[in-house]
Structure 1
Amino acid sequence: MDQIWETVNSLAGKLDSHFQRSDEERWTVQALKLQEEAGEVAEAVIGALGANPRKGFSHGWDDVRKETCDVALSALVMLARMGGDPRWFFEEHVRSVAGRDLNGGAAV
């Protein structure tokens, strides 16, 4: 898990070094990147189902998995770009969701 966070923080630092803007602008661009990646998951699902008559079965479920990983990674990079300790924040949030949703609460 340490290697994942090292990679996340390195990616965040690299992106920040190439985009010298205000914090809010950097976070906004990362949020847009996250949305772009989510759209690629939707495109892959449509392709895996063959739901676009023009494209047919253009993707497989492994493509959906890969695109979903891109969404997760983009979200973690956004968290890292927002400062503080992203690993602590994420793990604390997972604990909070687990406490809420795995103890009889609504599912996420």
Structure 2
Amino acid sequence: MSEHGDVDLWRSVEELYGWLSANRVVDGPDEVLLRILKLSEEVGEVAQAVVGVTGQNPRKGVTHTWDDVSAELCDVAVTALVALRTLTPEARDVFAGHLRRVHERSLGAG
């Protein structure tokens, strides 16, 4: 952690990857597939939180806050980065290169 309490993103991704790998139930290609599939679960939790914050389920009413939605979106981001790390040890470089291309494609022409 930094002096401001910030956690280093990529060190945390690496540590989470290591922890998950040490405690995995499935090995080989299925491990990668299950980590990627976990993203669908997390995205579903974002949807559930949005439904809950807007009270779209009349039987349940308002069950979540926008802070809950933010937390679920963070879970999606972390899960995606850990899945990327599971796919490749070069996750940091792969992500940086992709972000650069998206940035240039979206903002470079403007």
Task: Tell me the TM-score normalised to structure 2 length.
Answer: 0.87
Partner SS for 1:84:
coil
Q: Which whole-Å CA distance do the structure 2 matches of 1:3 and 1:104 have between them?
A: 31
Shift in Å, 1:103? 3.1
Could you list the runs of 5+ residues in structure 2 that have no partner in the other structure? 1-5
2:71 paired with 1:75: no
How many residue pairs were aligned? 104
RMSD: 1.7
Match of 2:42 in 1: 37
Match of 1:53 in 2: 58
In the TM superposition, structure 1's runs of 4+ consecutive aligned residues that sit over 2 Å from their partners are none
User: Structure 1 vs Structure 2: percent identity of aligned residues?
Assistant: 43
Shift in Å, 1:2? 7.4
**Counterpart contact for 1:47–1:56, Cα < 8 Å:** yes
Task: Tell me the TM-score normalised to structure 1 length.
Answer: 0.89
Match of 1:26 in 2: 31
Could you list the runs of 5+ residues in structure 1 that have no partner in the other structure? none
Q: Which whole-Å CA distance do the structure 2 matches of 1:75 and 1:49 have between them?
A: 26
